[in-house]
Amino acid sequence: MGKKFLLEHVNVPGIAAYEVYRKHGGYNSVEKALKSMTRDQLIEEVKFSGLRGRGGAGFPAGMKWSFLDQKSDKPKYLVCNADESEPGTFKDRYLMERLPHLLIEGMIVSSYALGARTSFIYVRGEYMYVLRILEKAIEEAYAAGFLGKNILGTDYSLDLYVHPGAGAYICGEETALLESLEGKRGLPRLKPPFPAIAGLYASPTVVNNVETIASVPCIVNISADLYNDVGIGKSTGTKLISASGHINKPGVYEIELGIPVEEFIYSDEYCGGIWKGRKLKAVVAGGSSVPILPANLILKTAKGEPRLMTYESLADGGFATGTMLGSGGFVVMDDSTCIVRNTWTYSRFYHHESCGQCSPCREGTGWMEKVLHRIEHGHGTMKDIDLLADIARKIEGNTICPLGDAASWPVASAIRHFREEFEYHVKHPEKVVDPNHFEKEPFHSEKQHAIA
C-alpha cells in the first residue's frame, strides 16, 4: 500500500461531519500554523515541500504563493478552483464530497499564509450538491471557531464563501473564473497582469486547485521534509488519479508520485488491468486535453525506460513521444476503441465550450469538429487528415487562454500516433458505418501499438 496523505481517513464513517473529522486529527494544522508559524515560514514550508499545482499545469504552489503582491494595500484573496470540468477528471468532486473539511482546513491555512481575509471556493454549476455539502461544513467550521473573527483566539480572521458557477468549462481557466466570480461573463483575461498582481476585484489573488489546497494541511502536519520524501525528483507527494475507461476498477486513487504506469494500470491495488481480457490500445494520461499516447509509448518512454507516474516522466520526449500528467484524468482505452471517434467526441466538447472571444479558437474548434465528424462517418478524404493537423497547429499557441491548446493537442496527437486509423476511415467508409465499428473486429495496426 502506498502512502495516503489526502484519503487516509476517507473510509471512516461520517468523516464529512465536523466532530468525526476533528477526532481523526482534523484542523490540527490550523492550530499548528496559526499558533506557532509565521506566514513566511508557511510559504517557505510549502515551497520546500515541492508541492505542484494539481489542476493541470503543475506549477510549483509555493512559488505561486510567493509571487503574490504583498506590498499592495489592497486586500488579498485566495480562490479555490473547484470548477473541475476536464473530461476524465473527477478527483476534486470525490474529495469535496467525502472530505469537505479537509478542503476548508486547507483554505484556512493557505489563506493565513497569504494574508487573505476573505476567500472563495468556486464550485462548478453542475456540482450543486457538492456546494451544499461544503456550505454545511463551512457552517460547522464557523460554529467551532475555525472561521470568522479571531480564529482560535489569535488576531487572524477569515471569511470563507462558496460560489457556484453556471456550467462553463472555460470558467476553470483562472482569469475566466475570476471574471465569473465578479459576476461577469466568464471570458479569460489577457495576461499580464497576472492574478498575483491584479486578480479578483483588481486585487492580488492566488487561484489554486482543490487538491493543491487540500494537500497543504498535510504538509503542515507532517512537515515538508517528510512530504517530499514521497515521490521522485520534482514530483513530490501524492496525487489523486481519476481512473476511468476500459479497466476493471475505475475510481479515484491516491498514488505516490513515481509508481510505474504499468503498475498503475495492471496492479489490483489500482486499476486492476484491462476489462474483458482485452488488450490496451491507448491512454489519455491527464484529462482530455493532454496528448493521447499509444500503449507502447505510455508503458515505456521512447528511450525504453519504464514510464512513471510523475510530471517529468510522462512528459519525457516532449509531445512527439510524451504527454502530460495534467489534472490526473487517466482514461484507458482497449483495442475496441475507435480513436477517430474518441477524438471527435473530445473535439465536440471543446467546440461547445470555446468561449468565443478570440478567433482561432472560436472558429477553429468548430472546424476541427466538423472535419472529424466527416472522417468518422466515412465522408473524409486523405487531404482532410492533413487539413486537421494544420488547423490544430494554427490554433495552438495563438489564443488568449490555454483552451485553444487543449483543443488542438488531442487532435494533433491522435493524428501523430494513430494516422493509420484515420486513413482506414477514409479508405473503408463502408466499415465505419456502425458506431461501434472496432467492437467486433479490433483495428490492426501495422505498427503494433497494442500490448497484451
Partner 1 sequence: MATVTIDGVTVEVPDGTTILNAARKIGGDLVPPAMCYYSTLKDSGGKCRVCLVKVAQGSAKDPRPMPKLMASCRTTVMDGMVVQSITSPEVLEARKSVVEFLLLNHPLDCPICDQAGECDLQNLAYKHGIAQTRYEEEKRTFEKIDIGDKIKLHMTRCILCYRCTFVANQLTDSRVHGIIGRGDASEISTYIEKAIDNDFSGNMIDVCPVGALTDKTFRFKSRVWFTKPLDAHRSCPKCSGKVVLWTKGEEVLRVSARTDEYNEVKEFICNDCRFEHKQLSDWTVEGPRHINRHSVIAQNHYEHVDLIKLKKEIERQIEFEKGKALPEPKNELSA
Q: Which of 8, 159, 262, 363 binds partner 1 (CB under 8 A)?
A: 363
| 359 lies in the binding site for partner 1 (CB under 8 A) | yes
Strands 235-236 and 159-164, sheet pairing: unpaired
| 398 lies in the binding site for partner 1 (CB under 8 A) | yes
| 387 lies in the binding site for partner 1 (CB under 8 A) | yes
- Residue 84 dihedral angles phi and psi, to the nearest 5°: -80, 105
Residue pair 146/107 in contact by the 8 Å Cβ criterion: no
Q: Which of 362, 377, 419, 431 binds partner 1 (CB under 8 A)?
A: 362
For the bound state, the minimum distance from the C-beta of residue 56 to partner 1, rounded and expressed in Å, comes to 17
- Which residue in 356, 384, 263 sits closest to 313, CA to CA? 263
Q: Binding segment for partner 1 among 86-94, 310-318, 326-334, 351-359 (CB under 8 A)?
A: 351-359
C-alpha distance from residue 20 to each of 27, 219, 415, 442 (Å)? 11, 21, 51, 50
| 356 lies in the binding site for partner 1 (CB under 8 A) | yes
Q: Binding segment for partner 1 among 89-97, 101-109, 249-257, 390-398 (CB under 8 A)?
A: 390-398
Query: Which grid cell is 218?
Result: 498535510
For the bound state, the minimum distance from the C-beta of residue 359 to partner 1, rounded and expressed in Å, comes to 5
Residue closer to partner 1 (CB basis): 189 or 239: 189
Q: Binding segment for partner 1 among 43-51, 301-309, 395-403, 443-451 (CB under 8 A)?
A: 395-403
Residue pair 57/290 in contact by the 8 Å Cβ criterion: no
Rounded to the nearest 5 degrees, what angle is found at the Cα of 72, between the Cα atoms of 69 and 76? Answer: 70
Q: Starting from the edge strand earliest in sequence, which strands make up the sheet with 77-82, in order? A: 159-164, 118-123, 77-82, 205-209
In the region spanning residues 112 to 131, those forming contacts with partner 1, defined by CB under 8 A, are none
| 357 lies in the binding site for partner 1 (CB under 8 A) | yes
Q: Which of 354, 375, 385, 389 binds partner 1 (CB under 8 A)?
A: 354
Strands 251-256 and 238-245, sheet pairing: antiparallel
For the bound state, the minimum distance from the C-beta of residue 55 to partner 1, rounded and expressed in Å, comes to 20
| 168 lies in the binding site for partner 1 (CB under 8 A) | yes
In the region spanning residues 225 to 244, those forming contacts with partner 1, defined by CB under 8 A, are none
Amino acid symbol at 140: E
Q: Binding segment for partner 1 among 85-93, 133-141, 349-357, 430-438 (CB under 8 A)?
A: 349-357
Helix 100-114 × helix 210-222 angle, to 10°: 80
Binding mask 182-201 for partner 1 (x = CB under 8 A): ---x----x-----------
Size of the site for partner 1 (CB under 8 A): 27
- 317-323: which pairs have CB atoms within 8 A and are 24 or more residues apart? 319/291, 319/409, 319/412, 319/413, 319/416, 320/416, 321/293, 321/297, 322/291, 322/293, 322/297, 323/284, 323/285, 323/286, 323/290, 323/291, 323/292, 323/293, 323/298, 323/413
| 70 lies in the binding site for partner 1 (CB under 8 A) | no
| 202 lies in the binding site for partner 1 (CB under 8 A) | no
For the bound state, the minimum distance from the C-beta of residue 57 to partner 1, rounded and expressed in Å, comes to 13
| 365 lies in the binding site for partner 1 (CB under 8 A) | yes
| 214 lies in the binding site for partner 1 (CB under 8 A) | no
Residue pair 153/147 in contact by the 8 Å Cβ criterion: no
Q: Binding segment for partner 1 among 97-105, 109-117, 315-323, 359-367 (CB under 8 A)?
A: 359-367
| 177 lies in the binding site for partner 1 (CB under 8 A) | no
What is the distance between the alpha carbons of residues 241 and 328, in angstroms, rounded to a whole number? 5
Half-sphere exposure of 172 (CA within 13 A, CB side): 26
What is the distance between the alpha carbons of residues 299 and 377, in angstroms, rounded to a whole number? 31
For the stretch 193-207, what's the b/e string if a residue is b when 16 or more beta carbons lie within 10 angstroms of its beta carbon? ebbbbbbbeebbbbb
What is the distance between the alpha carbons of residues 61 and 164, in angstroms, rounded to a whole number? 24
Residue closer to partner 1 (CB basis): 117 or 394: 394
Query: Which grid cell is 240?
Result: 489523486
Q: Which of 195, 237, 360, 410 binds partner 1 (CB under 8 A)?
A: 360
| 415 lies in the binding site for partner 1 (CB under 8 A) | no
For the bound state, the minimum distance from the C-beta of residue 417 to partner 1, rounded and expressed in Å, comes to 22
| 372 lies in the binding site for partner 1 (CB under 8 A) | no
For the bound state, the minimum distance from the C-beta of residue 109 to partner 1, rounded and expressed in Å, comes to 33
> Helix (H, G, I), strand (E, B), or coil: what is residue 276?
helix
Residues making contact with partner 1 (CB under 8 A): 168, 170, 185, 190, 351-360, 362-367, 370, 387, 394, 397-400
